[in-house]
A and B are shown apart, each in its own frame.
Chain A
Amino acid sequence: MTEPNTPDPDSTLPTATTRRRGRWSLSIVWLIPLIAIVVGGWLAVRNIMNQGPTVTIQFRTAEGLQADETRIKFRDVDVGVIKSIRLAENGPGVTVTAELNKQVEPMLVDDTKFWVVKPRIAGSGVSGLSTLLSGAYVGMEAGKSQQSRSDFTGLEVPPVLTEGLPGRTFVLKAEDLGSIDYGSPVYYRRIAVGEVVAYRLDPDGSGVSIEVFVRAPYDKYVTESARFWEASGIDFSMDATGVKVNTQSLASVVLGGIAFAPLEGEAVGKEAQSMASFRLYGDRNSAFKRYDNRVEYFELLFRESVHGLTVGAPVEFRGIPIGEVTDIGLDYDREARRLNIPVTVRLYPERLTSRLRSTVGNSTAERQHEFVRMIEAGLRGQLRMGSLITGQLYVALDFFPNAPRTKIDPTQTVVQIPTVQGDLQELQTSLSSIARKLDQIPFQDIVNDLRRAINSLDGTLKSADSTLRSVNSDVLPAIKGAVEDARKTLDHANVLLSQDAPTQTELRDTLREVSRSAASLRTLTDYLDRHPEALIRGRQPEDKP
């Protein structure tokens, strides 16, 4: 029915135009698969272009390695993954095939190294701990060769990475390896400045050669005359000079290490060349002992007790150490019918001469002549007490102007230095001689004389008075002085043994540090015990103690 308002639809309304889309024109929906195909194609192409090189690596064992999971890392950057692990075709071992990123392709050269990083306890500490959690990975270090290569033999031990690091390598010779291992740190003034990179037994088996790498700029402190010593653990020594505790760092106590220092008192020497050879001493003291070329052996004959003297006790000249005791023997002098104790000492005359700054000729005869002169001038050896604490004796060389003259026999192979009695010994002998003398005193006669003297007491009283006065003014202060000295000595001993003695303080501090570390370690392990997942999730806020 037509409505009054609307016009007749049939006649007036236009008809929308129809347009036929071309046979091949598509609706806009087709953009979807089109885009999908384009994106897919681009991803595929990008994948192919980014396809990195494939390498094979031979290892002794596949322990810790898993196909499709174990990554290859270059300087801790993920650069590839192991694709397959097979038994090696020729000989024992495994062949590992790995796919690497395209960027490392230029690094695959002849001397590129691969190794497995597993948890390791080595000289520099425990390394690769993160692999306990993450699983082992294969480390890679690029070589410098120009020859590219695609099959490698993996190393069994991780090399210490020095590639590209500025610094110098030196060779240390030692009798044995001690507690040194790959990666043991090298210290200079207690700063870790390098590490052990390699070691090997010398071809003749008489020692080991250790290669250390010292990083720049510390390598310039390695002068030609620098000394290297093993700084492992704690050096605890107790000898004639007292008690000494010495350690580089808590780390070196556990892990071992090497320290070096230039010789003191020298002008800054020339820097040592790369791969220069040094001797590795056992400890700091032996490193700085002047092992000069000249070593002279002397003999001292003592006729008193040498209780407290040990081999290695120092020989001092006026307080300057110039050698040590090498042998203590016993000798019976048949002619003189007495026992002698020959003590052989080793002296480094250079120490003496350099301090005295006198020029001494190098020939043996000249040196001998020098010594004879000194002996004639009163140079004698004497046993002295080195330390009240340890009761150790040492040999002191000094000039005793009142010493009896002795004749030196320069033809003897080992020159004898005449000796004088030790102070204590002297005291002992003089005390015994006094006792003997006392014995000989005719007391009876003295009493008789005394009776006689009482008669002349009056006369003598006056002189006794004046004597007493002089005692007051002269002798007593002297005694007081002696008592004072004694007290000072005791004070000294007190200070050394007191609570705040630096020795004790250091010891206590060290022990305190250790116990503190142990306590915090215990807390950590306790916590981990209760919340093992904290290793992944970290400490939950509500769990914080």
Chain B
Amino acid sequence: MTTWRKNTFPPGSAAAQGLASCHACGLLARMPEQTHDSHDTVCPRCDAPLHLRKPNSIARTWALVITACILYVPANVLPVMQTTTLGATQNDTILSGAAYLWNTGSWDLAIIVFIASIVVPMAKLIALITLLLSVQRRSQHQIQQRTRLYRLVEIVGKWSMLDIYVAALLATLVHFGSLLTIRTGPGAIAFGAVVVVTMFAAKSFDPRLMWDAIETQNHDRAEHPRS
């Protein structure tokens, strides 16, 4: 368990004052001076675990992001849907599914599927990696934009599930015997895993760490002004 010391936090932040905000109910509570390893600190109002910052945020987020990156490959390479017509089986990956929509004239849906299932997961992973790196390098550039980026990642996360629902629905409905049958493929499992893991990754990242970096530096400069 990490022990936070007051002066590792920039002034102006609640943590510098020893105050922690409950992630569940938002109550501002004072963290005890000493924490015992056998006890967890909890929010006085709602009993949720209370921390100054999300524990092990960087490490956990990295682990999840790397897992998602690894799973991203089979998710796009393995077929998501298998269409069987009169004995001929055609495998469709997410990409080929979007291409099919485009080729058959529903370019609007093709764009939606492309964005939701291909662009979004990749963008999320890239965004999270960017955020992680920026925290670890204690970068001060464009923190506000990065915070917006984080909010975007959080909101947009669940929309990648679109392809899973489409595949599930098609596989349920198209059961016309030997004439036409659609089944979900192993790519769907991988893709679902990617979505879930990135959602967890976004949840475990603590954006406050970004703000910690910049204010500490200013604080350092204030304390040790360069001549």
- Residue numbers of A with Cβ under 8 A of B are 69, 132-135, 532-533, 535-536
Asked if B177 lies at the interface with its beta carbon under 8 angstroms from chain A, I say: yes
User: Do the beta carbons of B179 and A133 come within 8 Å of each other?
Assistant: yes
| A132, A134, A536: most-surrounded residue (chain B CB, <10 A) | A536
Closest to B86 in A: A532
User: Do the beta carbons of A532 and B176 come within 8 Å of each other?
Assistant: no
Knowing A532-B85, A532-B88 are in contact, say whether A134-B177 is a contact too (CB < 8 A).
Answer: yes
Q: Is the interface of A mostly helix, strand, loop or mixed?
A: helix
Interface residues of B in 163-198 (CB under 8 A from A): 175-180
Residues in B whose Cβ lies below 8 Å from that of A132: 178
- Distance (Å) between the CB of B36 and the closest chain A CB? 48
User: Do the beta carbons of A533 and B176 come within 8 Å of each other?
Assistant: no
Interface residues of B in 82-136 (CB under 8 A from A): 85-86, 88
Residues in B whose Cβ lies below 8 Å from that of A135: 176-177
User: Do the beta carbons of B179 and A535 come within 8 Å of each other?
Assistant: yes
Residues in B whose Cβ lies below 8 Å from that of A69: 175
Closest to B87 in A: A532
Closest to B174 in A: A536
Give 1 or 0 for each of B139-180: 1 = CB within 8 Å of chain A CB.
000000000000000000000000000000000000111111
Residues in B whose Cβ lies below 8 Å from that of A533: 85, 180
- Distance (Å) between the CB of A525 and the closest chain B CB? 13
- Distance (Å) between the CB of B167 and the closest chain A CB? 20
- Distance (Å) between the CB of A116 and the closest chain B CB? 15
User: Do the beta carbons of B177 and A536 come within 8 Å of each other?
Assistant: no
Residues in A whose Cβ lies below 8 Å from that of B177: 133-135
- Distance (Å) between the CB of A536 and the closest chain B CB? 6
Give 1 or 0 for each of B70-86: 1 = CB within 8 Å of chain A CB.
00000000000000011
Give 1 or 0 for each of B11-52: 1 = CB within 8 Å of chain A CB.
000000000000000000000000000000000000000000
- Distance (Å) between the CB of B198 and the closest chain A CB? 35
- Distance (Å) between the CB of B30 and the closest chain A CB? 40
Q: Given known contacts A133-B179, A535-B86, what 12 new A-B pairs fall within 8 Å (CB)? A: A69-B175, A132-B178, A133-B176, A133-B177, A134-B177, A135-B176, A532-B85, A532-B86, A532-B88, A533-B85, A535-B179, A536-B179
Residues in B whose Cβ lies below 8 Å from that of A133: 176-177, 179
Closest 10 CB pairs of A and B: A532-B86, A135-B177, A133-B179, A532-B85, A533-B85, A536-B180, A535-B179, A536-B179, A532-B88, A133-B176
Closest to B180 in A: A536
Closest to A133 in B: B179
19 contacts between A and B (CB under 8 A): A69-B175, A132-B178, A133-B176, A133-B177, A133-B179, A134-B176, A134-B177, A135-B176, A135-B177, A532-B85, A532-B86, A532-B88, A533-B85, A533-B180, A535-B86, A535-B179, A536-B176, A536-B179, A536-B180
**Measured CA separation A536–B178 after assembly (Å):** 12
Closest to A533 in B: B85
- Distance (Å) between the CB of A349 and the closest chain B CB? 66
- Distance (Å) between the CB of B106 and the closest chain A CB? 15
Residues in B whose Cβ lies below 8 Å from that of A134: 176-177
**Measured CA separation A533–B178 after assembly (Å):** 12
Closest to B175 in A: A69
Closest to B88 in A: A532
- Distance (Å) between the CB of B179 and the closest chain A CB? 5
**Measured CA separation A536–B180 after assembly (Å):** 8
Closest to B83 in A: A533
- Distance (Å) between the CB of A136 and the closest chain B CB? 9
- Distance (Å) between the CB of B95 and the closest chain A CB? 21
Residues in A whose Cβ lies below 8 Å from that of B179: 133, 535-536
**Measured CA separation A133–B86 after assembly (Å):** 10
- Distance (Å) between the CB of A393 and the closest chain B CB? 61
**Measured CA separation A535–B87 after assembly (Å):** 14
**Measured CA separation A532–B179 after assembly (Å):** 9
Residues in A whose Cβ lies below 8 Å from that of B88: 532
**Measured CA separation A535–B178 after assembly (Å):** 12
**Measured CA separation A532–B178 after assembly (Å):** 11
Residues in B whose Cβ lies below 8 Å from that of A532: 85-86, 88
**Measured CA separation A134–B178 after assembly (Å):** 9
Closest to A537 in B: B180
- Distance (Å) between the CB of B83 and the closest chain A CB? 10
Closest to A535 in B: B179
**Measured CA separation A532–B84 after assembly (Å):** 11
**Measured CA separation A132–B177 after assembly (Å):** 8
**Measured CA separation A533–B180 after assembly (Å):** 8
- Distance (Å) between the CB of B14 and the closest chain A CB? 37
- Distance (Å) between the CB of A389 and the closest chain B CB? 53
- Distance (Å) between the CB of B80 and the closest chain A CB? 20
Residues in A whose Cβ lies below 8 Å from that of B86: 532, 535
- Distance (Å) between the CB of A338 and the closest chain B CB? 78
- Distance (Å) between the CB of A166 and the closest chain B CB? 37
- Distance (Å) between the CB of A400 and the closest chain B CB? 76
**Measured CA separation A533–B83 after assembly (Å):** 11
| B85, B176, B177: most-surrounded residue (chain A CB, <10 A) | B177
**Measured CA separation A536–B179 after assembly (Å):** 8
- Distance (Å) between the CB of A195 and the closest chain B CB? 29
Residues in A whose Cβ lies below 8 Å from that of B175: 69
Residues in B whose Cβ lies below 8 Å from that of A535: 86, 179
**Measured CA separation A133–B178 after assembly (Å):** 7
